[in-house]
Structure 1
Amino acid sequence: MLKDAFFNVYTKFKLHFYQEIFSRFQDREASLTTVETFCMEAIQALGSPTVNEFATFMRISPPNAAYKVNSLIKKGYIRKVQSPDDRREYHLEITQKYIDYYNISTAYMTAVMNRISQRFSPEECAKLEDMLTIISRDLMSEVEIPDPPPS
């Protein structure tokens, strides 16, 4: 069934990420908690949100969001950058430290995408891209994130 096949792919991506994280932190404590990892993924997906935009997206209170953001700032995974347009506003930006952490996940996705490109025809890959775009844009409207820059 399509549902089972999709669930298996999604689960394998998650489990590979967990395997890599645990193997890298086997001898030391992981620097991001599970909840902080979720927060970082949301901040990255949102681009450079404000604390309030992050709170709204995550459906948490602004004080709770500020607490989580401050913890992530202390750990060096994000920084607040003052908006050039509105000096009262600060946007959250991920740091290289998080990019290095996140690359554990993206490296595997890139490897799988390369395997897809080798295994399937350009037409099949284009169809998969079209289908994924429709799924993201039209069938998952509950989760609004900015479009990624073209690669």
Structure 2
Amino acid sequence: MNTQEKFELVYNNFKLHFYREIFHKIQGRETSLTTVETFCMEVIYALGRPTISEFGSFIGLSTPNTAYKIANLVKKGYLKKVQCPDDKREYRLEVTQRYMDYYNISASYMNNVIGHVQEKMTPEEIHGFDRSLEVIYAEQMEETPLPDGHLPASLSDE
């Protein structure tokens, strides 16, 4: 198995774990998010407090569609709009604790996996793994243009 196939398997396992947990929540009626709303929330969270227009532009939605999706997420209690102090016409999107409880489904799994990986690796191997993640992240940043200031340009500590 080559590196690309291994990476795809790891990536797919993270997705599968997340989806399985989401379906368990849906069956237990613990969430009121639709599939599309779940993806919208994932994007908003990953962008880190985007403005309404940044979110809409990033996923390619029209202004009315963006407003509709945001209004539904606010109504359901997963998202809040926070007025920007320097420009009262602009709002930043912030996830609520309700969403964070929902999101922790995958975050706790990732933390467990990384914890086990670190236990099994030497400090040198962990350093190499960190460097690999930095390279992967840099490549992703070239392929995925993001609104300015939402994610670090690099993962490097330097």
TM over 0.5: yes
- State, as a whole percentage, how many aligned pairs show the same letter: 51
Residue equivalent to 2:18: 17
Contact 2:134 2:155 in 1 (8 A): no
Using the alignment, how far apart are the partners of 2:70 and 2:43 within structure 1?
12
Does residue 8 (structure 1) correspond to residue 9 (structure 2)? The answer is: yes
CA deviations over 1:1-21 (Å, ceiling 9, x no partner): 111111110111111112222
Using the alignment, how far apart are the partners of 2:32 and 2:129 within structure 1?
36
Residue equivalent to 1:68: 69
SS in 2 for 1:25: helix
SS in 1 for 2:27: coil
Residue equivalent to 1:48: 49
Give the TM-score of the pair, scaled to structure 1: 0.91
Structure 1 residue 135 displacement after superposition: 1.1
Distance 1:149 1:120, change over 3 A: closer
CA deviations over 1:79-127 (Å, ceiling 9, x no partner): 0001111111111100000000000000000000001101111111111
Using the alignment, how far apart are the partners of 2:38 and 2:93 within structure 1?
15
Using the alignment, how far apart are the partners of 1:149 and 1:135 within structure 2?
10
Residue equivalent to 1:37: 38
Distance 1:141 1:22, change over 3 A: same
The answer for unaligned runs of 5 or more in structure 1 is: none
Matches within 5 A, 1:96-135: 96-135=97-136
Structure 1 residue 149 displacement after superposition: 9.7
Q: CA RMSD in A?
A: 2.0
The answer for unaligned runs of 5 or more in structure 2 is: none
Residue equivalent to 2:151: 146
Structure 1 residue 43 displacement after superposition: 0.5
Give the TM-score of the pair, scaled to structure 2: 0.87
Using the alignment, how far apart are the partners of 2:155 and 2:4 within structure 1?
29
